[in-house]
């Protein structure tokens, strides 16, 4: 979903860059309030894993592909503040080094694929955790469903960008329908990858899953008993 330069006009892109810089500043502050020693390598690992997964486009219907965005995954694993920073690192590296995602669109992309998926994903994950069973499969299921919602939310955010400053003159309504439709499919891939990854970490090191830290004593005791 990387926006190239030119799709969204310059004023909108500049506003996006300013907003993204502000969000990153907030993340740095909030992450700093709660950092513990272990988040240092985990932040690097999340950024590295999401970069790798984003290289792997999977096919969806009709000559179209999609790849993991990963914000929900990052937020469940290391929390939304550190997670959004890891996501921002990925998009900065992709734009500056790999020519993926426009330079003027970098702020827009950080908000779209980083903050939107991170915070919409984590918010829905948090709500689902309240109704789903308080165990490994409940956490995994919540992460997968929330990941799907995050991708669809990102499609809505792109539509908003296009309504504000889109070029090429396509009608906003049809862009909205097309974006949401295709990303409902891509979101399935996002949900599967997020669910498998969170499930694997929950199975091996549940103590490292930020989104399951309320379960930590029970899960660790459970593991010790096996």
Partner 1 sequence: MTRRSITGFVLAGLAVALLLALGVSHFASSEPDGLERVALDQGFAGSATEHGTAGSPLADYAVSGVQNSWLATGLAGVIGVLLCFALGAGLVLAIRWTRRRPAARASTPRS
Contact flag: residue 136 with partner 1 (CB under 8 A): no
CB of 90 to partner 1, least distance (A): 6
Residues forming a β-bridge with 58: 66
Return the number of the residue (63 or 225) whose C-beta is nearest partner 1: 63
46-197-127-31 Cα dihedral, nearest 10 degrees? -10
Contact flag: residue 173 with partner 1 (CB under 8 A): no
Among 99, 163, 203, 218, binds partner 1 (CB under 8 A): 99
Contact flag: residue 25 with partner 1 (CB under 8 A): no
Please tell me the distance from the alpha carbon of residue 26 to that of residue 201, in angstroms, as a whole number.
28
DSSP state, residue 64: E
Tokens 């997968």 correspond to: 144
Contact flag: residue 203 with partner 1 (CB under 8 A): no
Contact flag: residue 225 with partner 1 (CB under 8 A): no
Pairing state of beta strands 58-60 and 64-66? antiparallel
Of 63-92, binders to partner 1 (CB under 8 A) are 63-67, 82, 85-86, 89-90, 92
Please tell me the distance from the alpha carbon of residue 74 to that of residue 113, in angstroms, as a whole number.
12
Other beta carbons less than 10 A from residue 205's beta carbon: 12
Among 18, 204, 214, 222, binds partner 1 (CB under 8 A): 204
Of 38-57, binders to partner 1 (CB under 8 A) are 38-53, 55-57
Among 5, 19, 127, 156, binds partner 1 (CB under 8 A): 5
Contact flag: residue 115 with partner 1 (CB under 8 A): no
Helix (H, G, I), strand (E, B) or coil at 216: helix
Contact flag: residue 218 with partner 1 (CB under 8 A): no
Per-position DSSP letters for 142-169, written without gaps between them: HHHHHHHHHHHHHHHHHHHHHHHHB-S-
Tokens 């690192």 correspond to: 89
Return the number of the residue (3 or 75) whose C-beta is nearest partner 1: 3
The window from 12-20, 123-131, 136-144, 174-182 that contacts partner 1 (CB under 8 A) reads 174-182
Contact flag: residue 3 with partner 1 (CB under 8 A): yes
Please tell me the distance from the alpha carbon of residue 109 to that of residue 100, in angstroms, as a whole number.
10
Return the number of the residue (132 or 164) whose C-beta is nearest partner 1: 164
Contact flag: residue 125 with partner 1 (CB under 8 A): no
Among 14, 15, 100, 138, binds partner 1 (CB under 8 A): 100
H or E segment at 60? Answer: strand 58-60
């Amino acid at each position: 979903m990387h926006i190239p330069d030119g799709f969204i006009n310059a004023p909108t892109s500049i506003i996006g860059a300013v907003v993204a810089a502000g969000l990153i500043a907030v993340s740095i502050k909030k992450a700093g309030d709660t950092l513990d020693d272990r988040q240092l390598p985990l932040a690097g690992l999340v950024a590295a894993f999401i970069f790798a997964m984003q290289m792997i486009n999977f096919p969806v219907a009709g000559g179209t592909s999609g790849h993991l965005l990963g914000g929900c995954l990052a937020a469940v694993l290391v929390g939304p503040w550190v997670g959004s920073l890891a996501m921002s690192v990925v998009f900065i590296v992709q734009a500056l080094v790999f020519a993926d995602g426009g330079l003027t669109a970098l702020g827009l992309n950080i908000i779209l694929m980083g903050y939107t998926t991170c915070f919409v994903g984590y918010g829905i994950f948090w709500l689902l955790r309240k109704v789903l069973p308080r165990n490994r499969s409940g956490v995994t299921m919540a992460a997968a469903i929330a990941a799907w919602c995050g991708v669809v939310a990102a499609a809505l955010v792109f539509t908003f960008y296009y309504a504000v400053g889109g070029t090429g003159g396509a009608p906003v309504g049809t862009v909205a329908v097309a974006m949401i439709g295709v990303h409902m499919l891509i979101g399935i891939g996002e949900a599967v990858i997020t669910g498998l990854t969170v499930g694997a970490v929950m199975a091996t090191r549940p103590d490292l899953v930020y989104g399951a830290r309320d379960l930590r004593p029970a899960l660790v005791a459970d593991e010790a008993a096996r």
